[in-house]
Structures are given as structure tokens and as C-alpha cells.
Amino acid sequence: MATLHLILFSRAPVEGSTKTRLAQGVGDAAAAAFHVACLRDLLQACADAAFALRPLRVLRHLCIAPPHDITAFRAAGLTGLDDFAVHA
């Protein structure tokens, strides 16, 4: 069976350290909220793609920075992370 790998790269959604250029205009909180909203949409898009591509085997990968810090993603209330292999 063929396998498709969906790979998502992201920095941790931490206020003050994410979307810093955007934050200069809208503030740290709004920039972090935007980052979380984008991640939520992307995680859902990956889930939708995995479902739509059945019976193809779809493996989802999340490459994060800083390394080994999935905590910030969970603290942001993001769901579906357990469906991803997390890489640092």
C-alpha cells in the first residue's frame, strides 16, 4: 500500500516569540492568537486530507521548534496532536 507523508513545520505558539513581525503592528497577544488559529486550520486540513485519501495510508508529521517542546502546542488548546508523529 502506498504511503503519503503530510509534514507540517511550526514554531511553538508562544506569545512574544511567534509571528514577531506581525506582532509589531498588532501586538503579541493578537499575533499569537493568529498563529494558533492558523495551526488549528492546518491540523484540521491534515485530518481532512487523511480521511479523504482513504484507503491510502497517510502519516502526519509535526516538526516543531523549539525542539522537544510540544507543551506550548497543547497549552494553546490545539487538538489532534496525537495523530501526528512529533519531530524536533
User: pLDDT tens digits, residue range 14-49?
Assistant: 999 999 999 999 999 999 999 999 999 999 999 999
* Verdict on whether the full-model pTM lies above 0.85: yes
Is the pLDDT at 68 greater than 80, yes or no? no
4's enclosing H/E stretch is: strand 3-11
Per-residue pLDDT at 88: 85
Strands 57-65 and 3-11: parallel
- Strand locations in 12-79 (E): 57-65
